[in-house]
Structure 1
């Protein structure tokens, strides 16, 4: 009988041992909780939800336009369509305009986009990209007849390689920007001064994110870029063909904050 009791106790001991061990606070015994997919969030300057920000009573108004509306980024198009190109009629700068507006709104700035897909208009009329500035000009002129803006931004992307269009700050990468000013227009000095102000402000937020001012003039160059239509008319190149969607949006967030810091508050 004693042997039988010992046998039963031995069986119970070995049966309950895994349960007892499992209840002990060893690191490897923690309950496994499947990780939920990381939600994609807007990388904005204020960490605010867009709908939380109401425009000011006397808003600083920005007009966004995309003269080369089908310019795009290789990684962006790869994500959208699984292919690589530098121009596309769907996944492009113009298609990103709503988020661009949102970043400005996060900084208390009212931003709107000129409602014209310039490169589609070119195609419809049998014209090429060299006619883009002439094609968009009447649309901009008509808009400025009916609405007044404090800043006009013609947004482009550069065609140079990633190492020239990317900056890393605190282990986060951003698309670099350049400001292009037509030196053969009557608003040249005003355009340049505003561009320099924004450039300096962006570099205060993220060092070396702006490559500064590029002046254009001479034979074979536009030299105006429609900047004669307003003293606050700036052309900005955001990143290059190899920059990612996230890098571009981070930079737009910095741009919006820089405009708020340097132009709105002053």
Structure 2
């Protein structure tokens, strides 16, 4: 009899504990709820003064969207336009430097101690990384055709006039690997500081100009893109763009490799006397103008 009572007691204890034991087992409906952790917002700082000296200008904040879609607060100095809207779609830009060793006298002097308008180290190509960074701050995926085209031209025993022919080979190779929404062949004009610079809100910017080869099959498309971008630039900083220069006839290229893509634009940024800061400020404005025109589809009216 005692043995039966013990067995009955064990069964009673087991059935009493069963709900508790069941609740501790890792069944799907018993998983502990973990609230989602909010993603911490990154802060990126952008300054129009890219040299070691700190700018004393006031700062204002705006937001852009990074390539991974995360909201990012950008701190930009007063005087550079900060009215950038987030770029919602991926937009791929290729930088080409046909005259890769073109440079600015103040930039060359600060980097090498020598005043020059061409330099094999301190030049447009060497400035490309900072240019890419400003484009990425505006949600644009910028890539540089990392070839010293002028050095390659010399290596082939050709003159500077053959740089476009040299560049053509490398551009073709790159376009076979990837399609780009916009290709910018970036140059420096030979004009002096007065003609190549604009002051807006007491801040200096390097002026821009677009060169369109009128003897290529993509002429009309190139011209439309250049006009839209020129107007967008002037909407941000009045008169920063000198407009469109059409080239055709004897003694000029007339094509400038723009037959390779209807989205290939040749842009001149500043002249021989522009400072590094003036050039980079204009690059920042150019990035904003591209985002506004081709990504956010803002009108230029």
| TM interval, short-chain normalised | 0.7 to 0.9
Out of 19, 28, 53, the position equivalent to 2:66 is 53
Question: Is the 8 Å Cα contact of residues 55 and 108 (structure 1) preserved in structure 2?
Answer: no
1:103 lines up with 2:116 in the alignment = no
Q: Distance in 2 between matches of 1:53 and 1:231?
A: 27
Worse-superposed segment, 181-190 or 114-123? 114-123
Q: Which residue of 1 aligns with 2:189?
A: 158
1:39 and 2:57 equivalent?
A: no
**Structure with more contact order per residue of length (Cα contacts < 8 Å, sep ≥ 6):** 1
Instruction: Output one character per residue of 1:222-254: Cα deviation in whole Å (capped at 9) or x when no partner.
Output: 000000000000000000000000000000000
Partner of 1:220: 251
Cα 1:46–1:105 shift into 2, 3 Å: farther
**Among residues 84, 88, 96, which one is paired with 2:119 in the alignment?**
88
Maintained 8 Å contact 2:97/2:124: yes
Q: Is 1:249 paired with 2:262?
A: no
Q: Superposition RMSD on alpha carbons, in Å?
A: 2.1
How far apart, in 2, do the equivalents of 1:62 and 1:102 lie?
12
Match of 2:179 among 148, 151, 156: 148
- Aligned partners of 2:67 and 2:96: how far apart in 1? 23
* Equivalent-residue separation in structure 2 for 1:91 and 1:229 (angstroms): 29
Looking at structure 2, the residues matched to 195 and 153 of structure 1 have their Cα atoms a distance apart, in angstroms, of 11
Match of 1:125 among 137, 156, 159: 156
Unmatched 5+ residue regions in structure 2? 1-51, 70-87
Counterpart residue number, 1:29: none
Deviation, 1:45, is: 10
1:183 equivalenced with 2:214 (yes/no): yes
The aligned residue for residue 265 of structure 2 is 234
Q: Which has the larger radius of gyration?
A: 2
SS at match of 1:111: strand
Q: Normalising to structure 2: TM-score of the pair?
A: 0.72
Instruction: Find the aligned partners of 1:229 and 1:46 in 2 and give their Cα distance.
Output: 39
Residues 67 and 140, structure 2, Cα contact 8 Å, conserved in 1:
no
Distance verdict in 2 for CA 1:215–1:201, change over 3 Å: same
CA distance in 2, matches of 1:84, 1:132: 23
Give the TM-score normalised by structure 1: 0.81
- What SS does the corresponding residue of 2:239 show, helix, strand or coil? coil
Q: CA deviation at 1:116?
A: 0.9
Distance 2:170 2:60 in 1: 31
State which drifts further: 76-85 or 192-201.
76-85
The aligned counterpart of 2:101 is 70
Report the CA distance between 1:123 and its aligned residue: 1.9
8 Å CA contact 2:67, 2:141 repeated in 1: no
Higher helix share: 1
Seen in structure 2, the aligned counterparts of structure 1 residues 46 and 164 have a Cα distance that, compared at 3 Å, is farther
Query: Offset at 1:161?
Result: 0.9
Measured against aligned partners, the alpha-carbon deviations of 1:189-213 in whole angstroms (never above 9, x if no partner) come to: 0001001111000000000000000
Q: Is the CA contact 1:187–1:227 (under 8 Å) kept in the aligned structure 2? A: yes
Aligned residues of 1:179 and 1:213 also touching (Cα < 8 A): yes
